[in-house]
Chain A
């Protein structure tokens, strides 16, 4: 046999090359990067400015980089621990006081000696130079300019005022609602209210200064303590103060030095509602949280956090945390299995597979919100494919189709909740009993729920529209956002059951891009969609107030009413608003709880929504990831401070 030596030589070179490269790899399944947590995600951070953000992915930064006056106590959604404040205000410790006339005063004494990531040192030219506190020698630390990088009550005051006046995110506006005790939902309305004009554009300079001054009266610093004075009770105050959004505290001097609002009455309007990149704090931070943003590569969708050794508690166990957006699941899965990643966002359909995989831990996470099919009425009448002919003629439905309580009840009895819970969710969650889910005030495990009962469904459908509906049937389209297999399953079960009840009942299902879903919900004053799969959750644990679960669903000015049509709003106004207002005015939880429980029952009586299930997600991590604490109200955001990697 003739051996080609050149060929053999080349082959050996190639094999040697591959071997050398392969040696760079490490054995499968060992702890790689022991001091760095690598988290593969599917969402990215929108801004580092805590006053700008309103989405959960962005809280991965604000939660870990900034500190707040209070933190949630572990997984408890209604208890708090001090953070930058040295005590949690309560009536018992005298830090919450009811003032004559119904006003309420909250006092936050501050923790002394807290340093921000960057501190200011005056140079020989008299200019302040911002340097990382961790990099300073003991001699340099002695030169820190007082107040420059030291977190005080004045920084807290500035941060809250800046967030309110910037008025950009929904969460910043929540602070406005809190400080005005629900009177104004954003600074623009506040300015309009004070100036007595129609539009925000009509508020003159004096009006702008007036609203600033009014705000400044409500947020003050007295004897080194932050004092908030609310016109009346706002039971969710502490819950909002502990959220990792606009109540995160920035260093005032640093923020001003970077070009943020200069803390003057006349200048706030220039910093109101900036575009994303126009906020000076968009891509830089100076928090006092356990991690520093070491690098934010926005084009590669990767953010690296580095441990802050000067943190006011002991430094975090992890040296670094890397959050990387990896859109493709197979890639995330393989990196997790190979140990190159420690946490990977996992599509729901692969959770069970991962649960059975060696070396992987799957932790189910109950969420504070439910999913449902949202009814809207009346829907847009013209040129609306969802309602077909727009008439009750078997080829469509009238725009106010779901205004008929019997139709809504018919739909709710036609759904098979148990099948969905067992076959789609494999028993991982429970049926939603209404807007208020487990853990929230007003939730009662014995409150009425709909069950699959085709006879009852038929009974209601026969009564609807004076019997005509049963006779002619209907054709209607339900919408969901793309990629939601659970939604398709819920619609599918409903579709089959409706056809079983009466073959003339036809439900069509359409999956849309999120942009088109928004168009269907918000494109006009009444929605286009009579039936849509969605899920919404509260922003704090209290069910009342503008951002609570009960208000979101059941208030005429709530979130759901915003996209459910005039008919839905009218029903809420008539039946639900009085109870919501009554409960919100009470301070005693024992008196409030039965009202929220009643509202929950009423959501069943009036079949306001088809409440399907309480959402459950899961953390899929390597076994060596320890210390995750799940707090439902934070929607699964990770506090990396508690995390360590150990076998």
Chain B
């Protein structure tokens, strides 16, 4: 097992170098004048004309050859420096660390109900093939699957904030922000829910929860819909297996057959998919974060990419590659636990 994990982790540098070379090559397709855009915050900085542009290009070394720039970047990475993000006006590592808790808080809270809900709904649908329950669940999932996230998110925002004023956007209300930024609130993790609990501040906890509900509903529904469809199909296949027939012939109740014998084996494809969904969500839920003004990794990465902030894009790619490799590994390690027939070699 340890060997297996070690060998899998060895892939990471390979993935990372390939990824960074690809992104670096792509950015070099742009001219230095285009790449300097990341360092120009407004057009007023162009008032020095071409002379000013050339000075900036020289200052940031954008006219250096590809290998020089790449080598310099790799050297920085090896010394623990991911570079400077012009869009966040901060070191890339600092940005990733500071936004990570916000994204994790949102993603975990959305992922758990979507995974559990998908397993439950998929099981129900599969076990009730072509019955009203199955039809209702299918309609529910098709809607979620086909609803663009930005449309669903905006509807959530309009209903729950615009009309009901229940669940505002952002991460905290202004009064809570003032409290959190005062010296009386200790930041343990950067995740508002956990920190407010650890500080014993229930009002801030509830306020944080209010801000999380609408994005969680949005993310949960979209992801739940995808996973439910896979779970349903997997259940249908599993329920046709011989051992299920045997279990029924032995006189086991349908509940036990479905929940104990069929569901566990049907979980394998859903687990694979859930791992990928979680990885993508950890990479930042760009649209949801943007709609709900939730400052997380997704919004940061999208903003950085749109502004050609390559150190930030590369730093984010490094983080995302790490998340993908680790979550794939976790999923692989889960297989033998779900199905003892699977052996890791």
Give the interface of A toward B (CB within 8 A).
18, 20-22, 24-28, 32-33, 36, 38, 43-44, 46-47, 54-58, 169-171, 173, 185, 273, 275-277, 282, 294-295, 298-301, 304, 320, 322, 326-328, 330-331, 334-335, 337-338, 340, 513-516, 518-519, 522-523, 525, 536, 539, 547, 559, 562-563
On whether the beta carbons of B181 and A295 are closer than 8 Å, the reply is yes
Which residues of A are found within 8 Å of B51, using beta-carbon distances?
Answer: 562
On whether the beta carbons of A519 and B166 are closer than 8 Å, the reply is no
Q: How far is the CA of A334 from the CA of B155 in the complex (A)?
A: 12
On whether the beta carbons of B157 and A330 are closer than 8 Å, the reply is yes
- Chain B residue nearest to A301 in the complex (CB): B295
On whether the beta carbons of B34 and A516 are closer than 8 Å, the reply is yes
Which residues of B are found within 8 Å of A322, using beta-carbon distances?
Answer: 174, 177
On whether A522 and B161 interact (CB within 8 A), knowing A273-B59, A294-B181, A299-B300, the answer reads no
On whether A300 and B45 interact (CB within 8 A), knowing A21-B206, A33-B175, A523-B31, the answer reads no
Give the interface of B toward A (CB within 8 A).
30-31, 33-37, 40-53, 55, 59-60, 84, 86, 88-91, 94-95, 98-99, 154, 157-158, 161-162, 164-169, 173-175, 177-178, 181, 203, 206-207, 209-210, 213, 290-293, 295, 299-300, 303, 308
Which residues of B are found within 8 Å of A277, using beta-carbon distances?
Answer: 84, 89-91
- Chain A residue nearest to B87 in the complex (CB): A44
Which residues of B are found within 8 Å of A25, using beta-carbon distances?
Answer: 165-166, 168, 210
Which residues of A are found within 8 Å of B86, using beta-carbon distances?
Answer: 276
Contact with B165, one of A28, A320, A328, A330 (Cβ below 8 angstroms): A28
Contact with B181, one of A58, A185, A304, A547 (Cβ below 8 angstroms): A304
On whether A22 and B178 interact (CB within 8 A), knowing A47-B89, A519-B34, the answer reads no
- Chain A residue nearest to B209 in the complex (CB): A21
Would you list 27 pairs from A and B whose C-beta atoms are within 8 A, ordered by A residue?
A24-B210, A25-B168, A26-B165, A33-B175, A36-B174, A36-B178, A58-B41, A275-B84, A276-B89, A299-B95, A304-B177, A322-B177, A327-B290, A327-B299, A328-B291, A331-B291, A334-B161, A338-B165, A340-B168, A518-B33, A518-B37, A518-B53, A523-B33, A539-B47, A547-B47, A559-B49, A562-B48
Contact with B34, one of A43, A47, A185, A515 (Cβ below 8 angstroms): A515
On whether the beta carbons of A522 and B53 are closer than 8 Å, the reply is yes
On whether the beta carbons of B174 and A32 are closer than 8 Å, the reply is yes
Which residues of B are found within 8 Å of A294, using beta-carbon distances?
Answer: 181
- Chain A residue nearest to B308 in the complex (CB): A515
Contact with B169, one of A56, A331, A563 (Cβ below 8 angstroms): A331
On whether A522 and B49 interact (CB within 8 A), knowing A22-B166, A294-B181, the answer reads yes
Extra A-B contacts (18), CB below 8 Å, given A54-B42, A328-B290, A563-B50: A22-B165, A25-B168, A33-B175, A55-B42, A56-B44, A57-B42, A170-B48, A299-B300, A322-B174, A331-B157, A335-B168, A338-B161, A338-B162, A519-B33, A522-B49, A559-B47, A562-B48, A562-B50
On whether the beta carbons of B89 and A21 are closer than 8 Å, the reply is no
Most buried by A among B35, B47, B175: B47
On whether the beta carbons of A38 and B174 are closer than 8 Å, the reply is yes
On whether A335 and B175 interact (CB within 8 A), knowing A304-B181, A327-B303, the answer reads no
Which residues of B are found within 8 Å of A18, using beta-carbon distances?
Answer: 166
- Chain B residue nearest to A335 in the complex (CB): B169
- Chain B residue nearest to A520 in the complex (CB): B33
Which residues of B are found within 8 Å of A36, using beta-carbon distances?
Answer: 174, 178
Q: How far is the CA of A275 from the CA of B86 in the complex (A)?
A: 10
Contact with A170, one of B44, B50, B300 (Cβ below 8 angstroms): B44
B263 to chain A, nearest CB (A): 22
B171 to chain A, nearest CB (A): 8
A542 to chain B, nearest CB (A): 16
- Chain B residue nearest to A53 in the complex (CB): B41
On whether the beta carbons of B206 and A340 are closer than 8 Å, the reply is no
- Chain A residue nearest to B171 in the complex (CB): A300
On whether the beta carbons of A275 and B59 are closer than 8 Å, the reply is yes
- Chain A residue nearest to B39 in the complex (CB): A276
On whether the beta carbons of A24 and B206 are closer than 8 Å, the reply is yes
On whether the beta carbons of A299 and B213 are closer than 8 Å, the reply is no
B253 to chain A, nearest CB (A): 20
- Chain B residue nearest to A334 in the complex (CB): B162
Which residues of B are found within 8 Å of A173, using beta-carbon distances?
Answer: 48
Which residues of B are found within 8 Å of A514, using beta-carbon distances?
Answer: 37, 43
On whether the beta carbons of B292 and A331 are closer than 8 Å, the reply is yes
Which residues of A are found within 8 Å of B59, using beta-carbon distances?
Answer: 273, 275
Which residues of A are found within 8 Å of B30, using beta-carbon distances?
Answer: 515
Which residues of B are found within 8 Å of A46, using beta-carbon distances?
Answer: 41, 89
Contact with A522, one of B44, B46, B88 (Cβ below 8 angstroms): B46
Q: How far is the CA of A547 from the CA of B49 in the complex (A)?
A: 13
On whether the beta carbons of B213 and A340 are closer than 8 Å, the reply is no
